[in-house]
Amino acid sequence: MAYVDDRDLAVELLNSMKKFFKFRELEELLDLPTPTIWRYIHGEIRPSYDRARQLIQRLLSNETLIKLANQLVKRSDNNLVNVYLVAYNVDILNIASIDAYVWSRAIQPNTVLTIEADGIPLATLIAKRLSAKLVVAKRRKEIGFKRFIETTFITHDPPEVVTLYVPEEMLSNSDRVLIVDDLVKSGRTTRALAEIVKRVNAKIVGFYALMSIGTKWKQIIEDIVGRNYRILINIPS
């Protein structure tokens, strides 16, 4: 895993969070005066290492993430969640990639596995931060490869039989795999990705998702990775 200076990470995180919080709100969250926060954001001063770690901890705390979710998560008249507004917001993806990097330091992944298509932006950013290999499971065989690992599963909504393919040479038994997705609702997609990893005897070290809806997914995820998972935004069903 690549080393990143926590001071740079804290300032980058603060810049993205500022898109969603006013200075007054950041003052309350960080217990810092607005002039100091402003100078951090504009690069006039850098936080100390201790202050940087404190900033990261507070900006990624449950309290802050709940407030962030309350701003972002919108439901339609028929109570459907608008996932697009979150999954394709560049600052949210940046925040999530930093969160995933900080959280996954303890599990040391060297490979990030996701499914096409909505999980790719987040997985790409996380793989970049981790200096990890990126592997994408697709619903068709990629041209240029002869042998594939494949698995079939039934999607939750709407019900559909789906086969996923990963070129055999993309995974090996030395990989420490972090499974990443934009949204987890039933856990079926994650279980299918886990099956692909098991076919090559690689190790699944964790699961990360941008959002979850409800709690039906928990048992499946915990069967795969135990408690080694993290969700940035949890949405009640």
214-216-221-223 Cα dihedral, nearest 10 degrees: 150
pLDDT of 79 over the 80 cut: no
What are the counts of helices (DSSP H) followed by strands (DSSP E) for the chain? 10, 7
**Model pTM?**
0.93
- The domain tally of the chain equals 2
Six token digits for residue 220: 């499946």
d(CA 198, CA 196): 5
d(CA 79, CA 150): 35
Whether residues 20 and 91 share a domain: the answer is no
Whether residues 164 and 47 share a domain: the answer is no
Q: Is residue 215 part of a domain?
A: yes
Q: Is residue 15 part of a domain?
A: yes
Whether residues 43 and 107 share a domain: the answer is no
pLDDT of 118 over the 90 cut: no
pLDDT of 24 over the 90 cut: yes
In this prediction, residue 72 carries a pLDDT of 85
Q: Is residue 40 part of a domain?
A: yes
Q: Are 194 and 180 in contact (CB under 8 A)?
A: no
Q: Is residue 42 part of a domain?
A: yes
pLDDT band for position 194 (50/70/90)?
very high
**Tens-place pLDDT, residues 63-75:** 999 999 988 887 7
Residue 121 vs residues 37, 92, 136, 148, 176: alpha-carbon distances, Å: 29, 11, 11, 23, 20
Whether residues 106 and 214 share a domain: the answer is yes
Maximum separation of any 2 CA atoms in the chain, in Å:
59
H or E stretch at 161: strand 161-167
Q: Are 137 and 145 in contact (CB under 8 A)?
A: no
Q: Is residue 133 part of a domain?
A: yes
In this prediction, residue 114 carries a pLDDT of 97
Please give the radius of gyration of the chain, using alpha carbons only, rounded to the nearest integer.
19
For residue 34, how many other CB atoms are within 10 A of its CB? 12
Q: Are 195 and 158 in contact (CB under 8 A)?
A: no
Whether residues 51 and 91 share a domain: the answer is no
d(CA 130, CA 124): 10
pLDDT of 76 over the 70 cut: no
CATH of the domain at 196: 3.40.50.2020
In this prediction, residue 87 carries a pLDDT of 85
Q: Is residue 72 part of a domain?
A: no
pLDDT of 205 over the 90 cut: yes
Whether residues 124 and 218 share a domain: the answer is yes
Whether residues 54 and 140 share a domain: the answer is no
Q: Is residue 200 part of a domain?
A: yes
Closest CA to 110 of 173, 16, 163: 173
Whether residues 10 and 123 share a domain: the answer is no
Whether residues 145 and 221 share a domain: the answer is yes
Share of the chain above pLDDT 70, in %: 97
* Of the residues 43, 59, 75, the one at which a domain ends: 59
Helix (H, G, I), strand (E, B) or coil at 31: coil
pLDDT band for position 83 (50/70/90)?
confident
Residue reference for tokens 């740079």: 8
Owning domain of residue 33 = 6-59
Whether residues 157 and 230 share a domain: the answer is yes
Amino acid making up residue 187: G
Closest CA to 135 of 107, 148, 89: 148
Whether residues 11 and 92 share a domain: the answer is no
Q: Is residue 122 part of a domain?
A: yes
Whether residues 16 and 119 share a domain: the answer is no
* Of the residues 42, 59, 76, the one at which a domain ends: 59
